[in-house]
Chains A and B, each alone.
Chain A
Amino acid sequence: MAVIELSHLEKSFGEIEVLKDISLSVDKGEVISVIGASGSGKSTMLRCINLLEKPSGGKICFHGKDIMDKGLNLSEYRAKVGMVFQQFNLFENMTALQNCVVGQIKVLRRRKEEAEEVARENLARVGMLQYINAKPRQLSGGQKQRVAIARTLSMNPEVILFDEPTSALDPEMVGEVLAVMRTLAESGYTMIVVTHEMGFAKDVSNRVIFMDKGVVVEDDTPSVIFQNPKVQRTKEFLARYFAS
């Protein structure tokens, strides 16, 4: 059964329809890249999945259960579906370690010692163990994003959503974040990555979704999307993208 299933998802901001009838099914272990021009609804779709935006219509199911159901424990669900943001959103008043610990204690009710152990493990995994006591303002963009990934990992999520995780970074820092994401993909996490990094989409993900004007235009393997796109709009987008 699919881990996450969107059916006929819609989202409007006032008069503007951002998402129109999106249906999508995500299986365990899939690494999906979502590509498309700015304003095509990629980020909004991701934000709907963990309910930072409330969908205007349609349904989102997690292991077959409707997440907009009143009985759903929203905190529990969000802990299982982690999110990594373009602007990192690390807690500015906490150190790297505290950033990774606070959610475990408050949401997962872990003991402090256990939470710190998990946090350390995950900070080591993203290569940030040396910076456990640094505050976000003392870190570079790439370092912040790696801590943000460790924060998400510390909640033991089943799915991780990445919302343009490298778009706010200087070019020389993109590589370190992508490297971390690559190891996560290889260790079997289910990931949905909104990205402009075509290299990552092509090499790391096993499925690519091209979105345009609020709909899924094409949904296929990277080799088909990048070498043999079936839809004209995908061809045009990629041609424009690689020409620039």
Chain B
Amino acid sequence: MSLSFLEKVLFLIERYYPLFLSGMATTMLIAITGTVAGFVIGLVVAVIRTIPVSEHDSKFKKIALAIVKFICVAYIEVFRGTPMMIQAAVFYYGIFMGVNIDLTLAAFVIVSINTGAYMAEIIRGGIISIDKGQTEGAYSIGMNHRQTMTSVVLPQAIRNIMPSVGNEFVVNIKDTSVLNVIGVAELYFQSRSAAGTYAMAFQSFTIAAVIYFFLTFIVTRILRLIERRMDGPKSYVIYGSQTNPDAEIRIKKGGARNGRY
């Protein structure tokens, strides 16, 4: 009896769909947590790295800042410079050894720290890309560095780096597969299990591929929607006109800046 490719796929789905579903859920959970936590870590690191030092600052502040900045750079270099698979193995078999740590929790920690290193540089890029005039405008009305960052620079920087954050998210969805090295039951791990019993590797991994693509595609669509939200409406309302003070005049301004017009 020989089954066609499609029949085998259907067979696998029917028999192992709980495996695929749980793998998908684990993968998404780790990717979401890792990206969000990584974003927060990256934000903190990038903000620290862009604190300006002025001559007015005390010696203590200057030295403390230099040390903290050095630690930030070291963190980025180490975690960008080594594969996440190795990081996972070192963490799980080395640092966490003897501690009875939940595998999923270990996965969260590793993906978050790894993503944080990349995010730190992405966000720093966003911050330094904002025109110096924005900062000067804020300083000129008396805002300090912290107020300038939170109200003026970061909102613009974060909008601008959304495409790169999307990249990181997509990479995380796919890269959770390396966590099988420590036995995390994510999508790749589950597909391999499903493939094993009936020697249907091709079919099983094809299903996994389709699921991965489905996940990343949904995520990129959602991120694009968020971006458009952040941009706000393209038209604006002028209140009142010379003839009718209650009129609302909508004016559309052109420009390909936000993609779809």
Which residues of A line the B interface, CB within 8 A? Answer: 50, 52, 54, 70, 74-79, 82-83, 85, 87-94, 102-103, 106-108, 129-135, 137-138, 148, 151-152, 155
Contact = CB atoms under 8 A, between A and B. Distances in A.
A135 B56 CA distance: 36
B197 interface: no
Interface stretch (B21-29, B34-42, B91-99, B141-149): B141-149
Contact of A130 (B56, B140, B142, B239): B239
A78 B140 contact: yes
A70 B55 CA distance: 11
B133 interface: yes
A103 B55 CA distance: 25
Contacts of A54: 55
B141 A155 contact: yes
Interface stretch (B43-51, B77-85, B152-160, B161-169): B152-160
Of the four ranges (under 10, 10 to 19, 20 to 34, 35 or more), the interface on chain B belongs to: 20 to 34
Interface of B: 55-56, 133-134, 136-144, 147, 151-152, 155-156, 159, 232, 236-240, 251, 253, 255, 257
21 contacts: A70-B56, A77-B142, A78-B141, A78-B142, A85-B136, A85-B137, A88-B133, A88-B137, A91-B137, A91-B138, A93-B155, A102-B151, A103-B138, A103-B143, A106-B143, A106-B147, A107-B142, A129-B239, A134-B236, A138-B251, A148-B137
A75 B142 contact: yes
Contacts of B255: 137
A58 B17 CA distance: 78
Contacts of B239: 129-130, 132-133
A78 to B, nearest CB: 4
Contact of A152 (B138, B141, B257): B141
Contacts of B237: 133
Given A78-B141, A106-B147, A148-B137, 19 more contacts: A52-B136, A74-B144, A75-B144, A79-B142, A85-B136, A88-B133, A89-B136, A89-B140, A91-B137, A91-B151, A103-B142, A107-B141, A129-B239, A131-B236, A131-B238, A132-B239, A135-B236, A151-B141, A155-B142
